[in-house]
Chains A and B, each alone.
Chain A
Amino acid sequence: MRPEEISKKTEQLVTIKTEDLAPLPFPYDTYEETPITPLKEEQKKKWEHSLDGVSALTLPKPETPEEEERLVKAFLSGLEKLMTKENNWTFLQPLMLSLEYCAKCQTCADACPAFEMSGRKDIYRPTFRADVLRKIAKKYLSKGGKIFAGFRGHDIDLNWDTIARLAELAYRCTLCRRCASVCPVGVDNGLITHELRKLFSQEMGIAGPEIHEKGSVKHLKFGSSTGMTTAAVADIIEYLEDDIEEKTGKRIKIPLNKKGAEILLIHNAGEFMAWPENPMAFAILFDAAGIDYTLSTDLVGYDAVNYGLWYDDVQFARVALKHIEIARNLGVKKIVIGECGHAHKALSVIADRLLPGAQMIPRESSYTLLNDIVKSGKIKFDPSKNDFPVTLHDPCNAVRLMGIVKPQREVLNAIFPPGRFREMEPHGVENYCCGGGSGFAIMSSGNFPDWKRLVSGRKKLAQILNAFQGEMDPSIKKMVCAPCSNCKGQIRDMLESYEVYEKTGIWYTGLVELMVNAMVDQKKPYIEWPGEDDDDM
């Protein structure tokens, strides 16, 4: 399918059929997949779905031709702004280079898990959405763009269908940037998706509801994208202290708003709700290692997420500046980011050039600090307590996009008996996204969860299964270590949808939980497998 066909007047451009999907390894090689749930008639009437029958955005259909026209104009005006330094100094240079220079070699296509696992559907090619944007820019915004547009390869119609499909298409890419790492001329199709999302959000107010209204807006309004208020945090922390006492037999005080502490530790607040054992494990380890740290209960300061990273520079900056301000007010020497991949990249890398240097504060990955704790010998670990096969998932944001590859591996090698840790293939900076990147892990509108299950998460599931081939007997318990909240959420959803634990004995957890499980001082097992504690299931 040529990118120009995106403007075609048709009910639905592409249908995802389960028989087209790339196969999964044993024991799912004969598995009967559940297809994508079609939208109900009333949903179809309300929401745009003409790309692939999936609605991730629940984007309302315009009611009048005038409204359509207004939206088309808004899109073009947004595209124009995207190409000005005043409105887009943040990404102008890589965007313009990526728009200008595609050599149309399709090397990126084979690197993209969404394209590959969908059964190579053209609309999910990394170049497809980029090409559509390129062609619109050339035809409608460059001088003489309409002359010989067909011969020059950019004769595309700009109508509401094009825009509605493009909006959905901006949410069929996880921004993993695997495509960018193989492109021979350096084009970054992941970045083009990012910029497209920005255009929709910053100009037209269109974004995934879970990442905007229920995400960054809630974060700035209540203090956390989970909706957890500043008043509730202290209570939650107290519950964690009770749970720690129950699990370890020791009462540990989790420091809050401690002025002058060495470290401000910020977790993805989703951990407090979904995986409290993760922040608890941090508290146990930091206590045992004698780390001088604090958590914050200030608005925004207790949630490391920054959803703006995926769709909106302004929302991004608002949250990042808040994180920095809170750390400065506390007078800490550095911020340490918990197990959240996108928070790592947001605060360490992207926010790095938002303020003059004197106003910044050093940021560090928890993986690095945890490895330092292990190497310091301050905590004694007994690897035999972790005597089960384990593999490691590399969160794209912390690994390919930040270069933190070794510390988490060194930790695993120190807390597992030799031979228990095996890599997925490929891994490290060549890893595949969990399928929940760029906000997908938390996006659950319309029938989008089905798309994630069948398409974006499929490659990671295949990789996980491949890592344990030969040991698929469910009685052999096996673990995926995923040191990132969003990746964990996505992996949990995949394992549950496919009943992977029941069929193969594979479960998931974070890095710190595995560390506490191996602590000599930890009398009871810290890791719980499904069924051992019904609350966790």
Chain B
Amino acid sequence: MGFLQILTYLSGLVFVIAFGAKLLKYATMPMHVRWELYPIPHEGKEWGGSFYEEIDHWKKVRHKDHMAQYRFMVPEILFIRALREDNRPLWYWSFPFHMGLYLSIGGLVFLGFGAFVQIFGMVPENSALASLFQSLTTVFAVPGYILGTIGALGLIVKRTTDSNLADVTAGIDFMNLIWLGLLFVTGFIVWLQDPGFNVSRAYFQSLLTYGPMKEPMSAIHVVNLLIFIGFWAYFPFTPMTHMVSKYFMWDKVKWDDDPNRGDAGMDSKIKKYLAYPVTWAAVHIDSQGGKKTWADIATTNPWENKDQK
């Protein structure tokens, strides 16, 4: 096993652990108080209404239109609808950038399928399935590289020239864009050198089989791989993982309008949180440095009966 393979495994490991830890961190945070924001698609009221519009709403069975959530979220993720509607000038660059990423990832997935069937001797020359995977790799990856390059370049220019954005963009943001831009550009050059993705597939196969890499790899391919390996390990530590907030902020915050109807799960959480010690230091809180719990301070009215008229 070569050095590149070891680096790839390590990078994958870092990604899985760091990204998993991030998901776990947010998934295990306490249930917060409700903080929804309308419209909420599952309410099924296109004007943005909620169950509060109905008299005695607590006596009624709730109907949640789950499909409406997907009807909202799929175009939101694929086409970045919010940006398209509210910030079109940036969307012109952000959309190709993101679409480039999605397509490149799609290309990688089909490359993986191709590598997998290749283990069993199915190669594009002798297998229709392998040939299909090869074609799909190209169909996804190549437009992905082109769109990604256009998007990254456009975003760099936009962030440099638009004063609204320049003031909030830091060196690291440019570095991230350049990093991804280089990944797309070198990927494109690799494809020009190896239009059938044969070397890439062989490399993927070597990763799947823990075996040696049989095909020789060009210098630019090695560079492309190193850029990818570095980015894969770095990515989970950056705000570029904003798909995490896209999931939690919608599903667990903006759309979480589940009323408290006394279900056991919610009750036990609330009881647990009310027993948390409080250390807020302002005088009116009267937390006594953590001696009091939320239940203690919330049920105490420090002013009651004093000076009452």
Contact = CB atoms under 8 A, between A and B. Distances in A.
- B is bound to A: yes
Interface stretch (A53-61, A80-88, A437-445): A80-88
A399 interface: yes
A362 B303 CA distance: 27
B252 to A, nearest CB: 7
Contacts of B267: 356-358
Centre residue among B48, B175, B244, B277 by max chain A CB count within 10 A: B48
A400 B50 CA distance: 10
Interface stretch (A166-174, A365-373, A384-392, A414-422): A365-373
Contacts of A127: 168
A40 interface: no
Contacts of A157: none
B87 A105 contact: yes
A429 interface: yes
A131 B270 contact: no
A301 B118 CA distance: 74
Interface stretch (A90-98, A452-460, A469-477, A515-523): A90-98
Contact of B26 (A97, A349, A400, A428): A97
Contacts of A92: 29-30, 32
Nearest to A122: B167
Nearest to B34: A349
B47 A91 contact: no
Given A217-B303, A350-B34, A110 B52 contact: no
B45 A403 contact: yes
A188 B249 contact: yes
Interface in A1-24: 1-3
B260 A106 contact: no
Interface in A376-422: 399-407
Given A107-B86, A110-B86, A205-B283, A400 B38 contact: yes
A429 B48 contact: yes
A353 B266 contact: yes
B165 A372 contact: no
Contacts of B172: 151-153
Nearest to A409: B47
Nearest to B29: A93
B32 A89 contact: yes
Interface of B: 26, 29-40, 43, 45, 47-58, 76, 80, 82-83, 85-87, 90, 94, 164-165, 167-173, 175, 239, 241-242, 244-246, 248-250, 252-254, 257, 259-263, 266-267, 270-271, 273, 276-285, 294, 297-304, 306-309
8 contacts: A107-B82, A110-B87, A222-B308, A314-B285, A353-B34, A400-B37, A403-B36, A429-B47
